């Protein structure tokens, strides 16, 4: 539901609004651990990154935190240790996830323990990826579309990541089957022309990763997008609903991945 954004656009079109950078003095606060854990059905994707929060006025270089003990255990009790690959980044080159199985992430750092668990969802195939022109407030813009067949059982959740000429787009594209269960579904990866992203042009290479994600992760991405992106649409910004226990920010997602690439005609 991007109605609010549309309202915003209409407002800025209708009235002479003006934007400026201001100084806001924000209090420093306690630093929290940030854990980003990913496990997929593809070898080499399993990676856990650990960092900390910073003050608003600090720079955006988030250094990884080393010396953590990281492991993933499946519901049959098989534990895989994730050694540190580069500072703060812990990897397993071989670990993959199987549909229906639960995986538990455990992170020990400086005497603190964080854990999270996630069940690998059913894989849904990406049937096609194509770029189509859409009218938007009178302009014509090129947008990527993904088509897939949603399974008849309710509870499928998807996330799409778009790369244009190898550059990852910032928008979070998620979709559930709340209103479209069991249907041939198309999602338009909608990027408004005034957003920071470059518009898609003829000749561009568009790649889309389609992930089948767990319901808890749908909620995470939804609430991250609504509440933590710094925008002003939400009445009450808040931290996203995480599946990590122990007081860290971030998430642990076990999901399927499928990529397709098209060259824009």
Partner 1 sequence: MNKLLLVILAMLTCMQGYSQEKFTISGTVRVQKTGETIIGASIKAGDAGTFSNDYGFYSISLPAGKYTFEVSAVGMLIHTRSIELGNDMTLNIALEEEPKTLDNITITATSKNRSLSSPQMGIERLSTKEIRNIPVLLGERDVLKTVQLLPGIKAAGEGNSGFFVRGGAADQNLILLDEATVYNASHLLGFFSTFNSDAIKDVTVYKGGMPAQYGGRLSSVLDIKMNDGNNQDYNVSGGIGLISAKLNVEGPIQKDRSSFLITGRRTYADMFLKLSNDSALKNNTLYFYDLNAKLNYNIGDKDRLYLSGYFGKDVLAAGQTFGLDWGNATGTLRWNHIFSNKLFSNTSFIFSNYNYNISIRNGANEFDIFSQIRDLNLKQEFQWYINNKNNIRFGLNSVHHTIRPGEVRPSSGQSSINLSLLQKRYSWENALYFTNTWKATDKINLTYGLRLTSFSILGEGDFYNIDNEGSVTDTLSYTKGAFIKTYINPEPRVAASYQLNETSSVKASYVRNVQNLHLISNSTTASPTDKWVASTNIIKPEVSDLFAVGYYKNLWDNNYELTFETYYKTMQNQIDYRDGANVFINSDAIETQLLFGKGRAYGIELQFKKKAGKLTGWLSYTLSKTEKRINGINNNKWYNARQDRTHDLALVASYQISKKWTISANWIYYTGNAVTFPAGKYHVNDQTYFYYTDRNGYRMPSYHRLDLGATWVLKQRKRFSSELSFSLYNAYGRENAYTISFRESEDNPGKTEAVQLALFKYIPSVSYNFKF
117 contacts 251 by C-beta, under 8 angstroms: no
Instruction: In angstroms, give the least distance from the CB of 27 to partner 1.
Output: 7
Applying CB under 8 A, the site for partner 1 has a residue count of 88
> Residues 213, 224, 244, 254: which binds partner 1 (CB under 8 A)?
224
Q: Which of residues 70-89 bind partner 1 (CB under 8 A)?
A: none
Instruction: In angstroms, give the least distance from the CB of 122 to partner 1.
Output: 19
Query: Which residues, 6+ apart, have CB-to-CB distance to 14 below 8 Å?
Result: none
Q: Binding of partner 1 at residue 265 (CB under 8 A)?
A: no
Q: Which is nearer to partner 1, 63 or 79 (CB)?
A: 63
Which of these ranges, 16-24, 68-76, 107-115, 207-215, lies near partner 1 under the rule CB under 8 A? 16-24
Q: Which of residues 93-132 bind partner 1 (CB under 8 A)?
A: 132
Q: Which of residues 229-248 bind partner 1 (CB under 8 A)?
A: 229-241
> Residues 67, 128, 137, 263: which binds partner 1 (CB under 8 A)?
137
Q: Nearest Cα to 251, choosing from 211, 225, 210, 221?
A: 221
First-to-last alpha carbon distance for the chain, in angstroms, is 29
Q: Nearest Cα to 37, choosing from 253, 234, 230?
A: 253
Question: In which element (H, E) is residue 259 found?
Answer: strand 249-263
> Residues 24, 76, 110, 265: which binds partner 1 (CB under 8 A)?
24
* DSSP helix/strand/coil, 176: strand
Report CA dihedral (46, 51, 55, 60) to the nearest 10 degrees.
Answer: -60
Which of these ranges, 72-80, 101-109, 198-206, 249-257, lies near partner 1 under the rule CB under 8 A? 249-257
* Residues listed for the chain: 265
Q: Which is nearer to partner 1, 32 or 98 (CB)?
A: 32
* Token representation of residue 125: 């195939």
> Residues 43, 134, 195, 198: which binds partner 1 (CB under 8 A)?
134
Q: Which of residues 144-203 bind partner 1 (CB under 8 A)?
A: 145, 147, 150, 168, 170, 172, 178-186, 188, 196
Distance CA 124, CA 196 (A): 31
């Amino acid at each position: 539901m991007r109605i609010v954004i549309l309202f915003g656009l209409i407002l800025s079109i209708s009235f002479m609004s003006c934007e400026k950078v201001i100084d806001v003095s924000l209090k420093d606060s306690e630093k929290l651990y940030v854990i980003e854990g990913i496990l997929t059905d593809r070898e080499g994707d399993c990676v856990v990154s650990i960092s900390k929060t910073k003050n608003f006025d600090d720079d955006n270089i988030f250094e990884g935190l080393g010396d953590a003990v990281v492991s993933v255990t499946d519901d049959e009790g098989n534990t895989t240790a994730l050694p540190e690959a580069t500072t703060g980044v812990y990897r397993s080159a071989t670990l993959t996830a199987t549909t229906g199985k639960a995986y538990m992430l455990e992170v020990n750092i400086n005497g603190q323990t964080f854990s999270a668990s996630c069940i690998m969802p059913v894989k849904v195939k990406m049937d096609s990826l194509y770029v189509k022109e859409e009218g938007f407030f009178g302009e014509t813009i090129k947008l990527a579309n993904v088509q897939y067949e949603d399974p008849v059982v309710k509870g499928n959740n998807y996330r799409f990541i778009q790369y244009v000429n190898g550059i990852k787009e910032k928008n979070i594209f998620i979709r559930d089957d709340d209103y479209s269960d069991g249907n041939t579904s198309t999602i338009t990866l909608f990027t408004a022309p005034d957003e920071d992203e470059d518009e898609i042009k003829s000749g561009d290479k568009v790649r889309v990763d389609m992930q089948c994600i767990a319901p808890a992760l749908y909620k995470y991405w939804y609430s991250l997008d609504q509440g933590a992106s710094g925008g002003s649409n939400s009445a009450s910004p808040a931290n996203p609903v995480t599946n990590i226990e122990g007081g860290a920010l971030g998430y642990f997602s076990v999901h399927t991945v499928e990529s397709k690439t098209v060259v824009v005609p």
